[in-house]
Structure 1
Amino acid sequence: MRTFSLLKGMPVFTISGERIGTVHDLSISESGQVIGLVIHQQALFKRAFHLQLTDITSYGQDGIVIKLKDSAAKKMPEDTLCFTKDELLGRMLFSEMGEELGLLQDVYFKEKMGTIIAYETTDGFFSESTVIQSKQPPTFGKDTIIVSVYEQ
């Protein structure tokens, strides 16, 4: 299980040892699955590309290793949202019963499958965070995210 906050800024290496960039964002499908990472490449001008979860060999404490031997840029799939770019981070979470759960601060997901299993929320800058577990995929609205917090 991983959180986005632990991955953000982590270096990404190919299996042959070439550093290709750092994790910048998390891409999530409209159905609520984490499908990949957005990587910023080290270059004169920052370039970003999409890395699918299936391309990742291992998640280490200090870096991520991928299967690809070259760092060919891949475009972001069209039906995805990004955790920070599309402002999911900081969006209000509600239960399907209309209960306000707090502002989204982080997501917990299974690395291999991409399944989001919990959300970290906060009520504000100086309040403690709360981890909310969910077994169902979220619904992304324009202003809020609806999650199932009840057994089904």
Structure 2
Amino acid sequence: MRTFSTVEGLPVLSRASGEECGHMIDLIYLNGHVSGFMVDPKGLLTRHLFLPVENVLSFGDDGIMIKSSSELKPYVKDKQAFLLRHGKRRLQGTALLTKEGEKLGLLEDVYFHEELGRIVGYEVTEGLVADLIEGRRVVNSQANLTIAGGRAILTE
């Protein structure tokens, strides 16, 4: 289990050639799980790439290993998917509520199971001052999210 912030910015490496294929820049959330990651390829004027979570061989401290660069596909925006950090449909900064309507804070990061792509927890913030004094809270939950109207509601 790890947070996305621990892999954000890490290079994506091909085990077959040893080449660096790009850097991890975002997590893609679709239908209650991590469907994959957005990768920023090397070079100017290049489009983002999609790395399905099942194509990741391992998450290391210094890089993400894949079999080869052919595992990466052009990123195509899915109208049902949410990104964690970027775009209009991002999860970061979204109010996280319980199914009873209790606001837990603003979603900041996610904890996910690497092999399964399942989100197992949410890191929430109540603002900079609260983060400095109390730290961020972690909400352990494998519940799916219903996301609409700037809110994410934990459902079962």
**1:67 maps to what in 2?**
67
AA aligned to 2:81 is: T
Deviations, residues 92-146 of structure 1 (Å, cap 9, x unaligned): 1000000010010110010111111100001101212000011221111131000
The aligned length equals 148
TM-score w.r.t. the length of structure 1 is: 0.90
> Equivalents in 1 of 2:128, 2:90: separation in Å?
17
Evaluate the alpha carbon distance shift between residue 69 and residue 22 of structure 1 in structure 2; reply closer, same or farther with a 3 A threshold: closer
**1:54 maps to what in 2?**
54
Higher helix share: 2
> Equivalents in 2 of 1:5, 1:53: separation in Å?
16
Query: Residue 107 of structure 1: which of 84, 104, 110 is its match?
Result: 110
Detail structure 1 runs of 4+ shifted over 3 Å in the superposition. Answer: 69-73
> Equivalents in 2 of 1:10, 1:140: separation in Å?
28
* Equivalent residues of 1:35, 1:114 under 8 A apart: yes
Deviations, residues 56-75 of structure 1 (Å, cap 9, x unaligned): 11111100010124475333
How far apart are residue 77 of structure 1 and its match? 5.9
Q: Does 1:25 align with 2:26?
A: yes
**1:42 maps to what in 2?**
42
> Equivalents in 1 of 2:72, 2:128: separation in Å?
40
AA aligned to 2:29 is: I
Unmatched segments (≥5 aa) in structure 1? none
AA aligned to 1:66 is: I
AA aligned to 1:80 is: A
TM-score w.r.t. the length of structure 2 is: 0.88
> Equivalents in 2 of 1:45, 1:107: separation in Å?
30
* Equivalent residues of 1:104, 1:122 under 8 A apart: yes
Deviates more, 1:84-93 or 1:62-71: 62-71
> Equivalents in 2 of 1:69, 1:107: separation in Å?
26
Instruction: Give the fraction of aligned pairs with identical amino acids, expressed as a percent.
Output: 34
RMSD, aligned CA: 1.6
> Equivalents in 1 of 2:55, 2:71: separation in Å?
11
**2:123 maps to what in 1?**
120
> Equivalents in 2 of 1:44, 1:71: separation in Å?
21
Unmatched segments (≥5 aa) in structure 2? none
